[in-house]
Structures are given as C-alpha cells and as structure tokens.
Amino acid sequence: MHFHDVWFIAIAVLWAGYFVLEGFDFGVGVLLPVLGRDETRRRVMINTIGPVWDGNEVWLLTAGGATFAAFPGWYASMFSAFYLPLLLILVALILRGVAFEYRGKRDSVTWRRRWDAAIFGGSLLPAILWGVAFGNVLHGIKIDAAHNYVGNFWDFLNPYALLGGLTTLVLFTLDGALFLTLKTTGELRGDANRAARLTGALAIVVGGGFLAWTEYSYRAAGHTGGTGAASVALAAVAAVALIVAFAANLGGREGVAFAAGAAAIAAATATLFTALYPNVLPSSIDAAYNLTVANASSTAKTLALMTVIACIFLPFVLLYQGWTYWVFRKRISAAPQAPESRQPETATR
C-alpha cells in the first residue's frame, strides 16, 4: 500500500468522524423549531450540543487541511468547482456559531427567536449541501484534461446529488433526535423518541435508495474501481445499522440506537469513499480526465512526513475530545432558569 492510499483512507475516516459528530449537531438544530415549543425546551436542546459543537467542527478543518496537503490536485479542482456551495456552507456555519454565542445576550423574545432561526438555517443548509456535494463527487463533474471545472452551478442539481442531499438531511436529523433521547429528560425526551421513529423509518427508505443507486449507477457510468465488493458490503452494513437503530429506538434502548445510527453514517461514508477509489474526483466528460489518488497526490516524501506528524499529534486530539464528551456525559433537565440577561445559557445537569 502506498502513502497516497493511506491518506485517502485517513481523509475518509476524517469525513466519517465529521459526519457522525457534526451530524447530531445539525440534527438538533434542524429539530429546534419542531421540538422546541417553548424557550425552556429550546434552551435545553441548544445546551445538549453547546459544549461539543465547536470541537466537532475540528474534524472538518482537519479533513480540509489533510486534503490540501496530501492531494493538492484534488483540493484545487474540488474547491474551485464547488466554490459557491462551499461558500454557502461556510456562511451557514459562521452564522450558526454566532447564533450560539449571541442568542442569550439580550432578554428579548424577538432577539432569541431570530438567533434560533439562524441556528435552524445554519444547520439545515449544510445538512443538505454536504450530501449534494458528495453526490456530485460520486456522480462526476465536468472537469477537462487540465482538471479545470467547465460546468456551472446548475449542473450540481442533478437527481442523484439531490437525493444525496435528502439522505444526509434525514440521517443527520435522525442522529440529532437519537442524541436528544440520550441527553434530555421528561417530555422533551419522549418527543425526541417519537421524532427518531419517524426519521428512522424515512432514513431506511431514503438512505437505502441512495446507497442502492450509488452501487448501480456509479458503476454503470464507468467509474469503477477495484473495491466493488467492499463497497457493497459496507452499504449492507449501513443498511443493517439503520434497521438496528430504528428497532432499538422502538425498544427503548437509546444508547444502542444512537450507536447504531452513528455506525450507519460512518458505514455510508465509507461506502462512498470505497466506491470512489481509486478516483478522487471523476470527470463526467471523459474518464481519462479523472483525478485519482496517484495523479492528484503530493510526493511520497511529503506524505511520509505527514504520516509521522499525524501519528504523534492525533492521539492527543482524540483524547481531548473524548475527555470533553466524558465531562458533559450527563442528561440535561428542563429545570427553570434565571432570566437570560442575568445568567448565561446553562442547564441543570
């Protein structure tokens, strides 16, 4: 195995980690206007992700940085082609982060409602656009022999990519609902359970359809790699994990349901990357123009140095993030709170 193969796997792992962890952040934000029927419930929902949401975004930054360093050709072509969608995602993430910090700065219902809308929009838009973006990566985009994008924005809105956007939205919403069942109490916990049942059933249908379409049409288009059996197996794992999550939620086994939902997202992400390999960005114009792990990577010496650095520092990052989740592991109750003008956004643990 070459270093560029190792870093392709590493980037796949980073994206899987990002989608699993940021997925429930997005899901909680999307569910905010649905389950947050009063200020206390909205405060509790936001507090469930308050200590971890910014740490979860580190996975995105690391994935982007690793792509830039390990596969500069992939980074350049993809980020130039997806400039507008990625800009929209960036604006949404910034707006959502600002909303988390500012919603409690003034004792005003209108003020808080506006920032709650920003949290909802800043969660909904990335939840859809990440699926659309990855759907287009699998589908192939119009890149020429010089690896320049020659299409337009509307080319991204093809049926397969739109289904990918719906899939990530449903999976992240399910992840958020299952997370709320673990982190809340009382009526909010019950409502989150019911939301998880609905989104779980929808995720089985939509997610299963997207994975089946991936396995069929991606190969029919000629973008085949040497890992077809592995991608089919991973797709099956993702489907089974979704079914387990749905069944466990029905049976009241909330921890099992959340773990299975996270496994489904991780397996689905692995399915996409496995089906993509050895390509990193297929061309819909001519397969000869495809960017691959070989022609888009940095030099072997660069990748070797990156591997050493990653092996040294990655354990510290994982330990710190694991410690954060351990410290904030308890449920959050919907106990009465002091006015927001006098007390920051906290909740009883």
pLDDT tens track for 66-106: 999 999 999 999 988 999 999 999 999 999 999 999 998 88
Predicted local confidence at residue 317, as pLDDT: 86
Q: Is residue 111 part of a domain?
A: yes
Asked if residues 176 and 52 have their Cβ atoms less than 8 Å apart, the reply is no
Q: Is residue 234 part of a domain?
A: yes
CA triple 124-129-132, angle to 5 deg: 135
Among candidate residues 233, 220, 230, the one with its CA nearest the CA of residue 277: 230
Predicted local confidence at residue 341, as pLDDT: 37
Q: Is residue 342 part of a domain?
A: no
Contacts of 186 by beta carbon, 8 Å cutoff, 6+ apart: 333, 334
- Total number of domains in the chain: 1
Q: Is residue 107 part of a domain?
A: yes
CATH of residue 204: 1.20.1630.10
**What is the tens place of the pLDDT at every residue in 298-321?**
999 999 999 999 899 888 888 988
Asked if residues 245 and 171 have their Cβ atoms less than 8 Å apart, the reply is no
Torsion of Cα atoms, 68 then 69 then 70 then 73, to 10°: 50
Asked if residues 205 and 212 have their Cβ atoms less than 8 Å apart, the reply is no
**What is the tens place of the pLDDT at every residue in 103-151?**
988 888 899 999 999 999 999 999 999 999 999 998 889 999 988 999 8
Distance CA 331, CA 11 (A): 32
Could you list the residue range(s) of the whole structural domain that residue 12 is in? Answer: 3-327
Q: Is residue 124 part of a domain?
A: yes
Q: Is residue 340 part of a domain?
A: no
pLDDT exceeds cutoff 70 at 347: no
Q: Is residue 334 part of a domain?
A: no
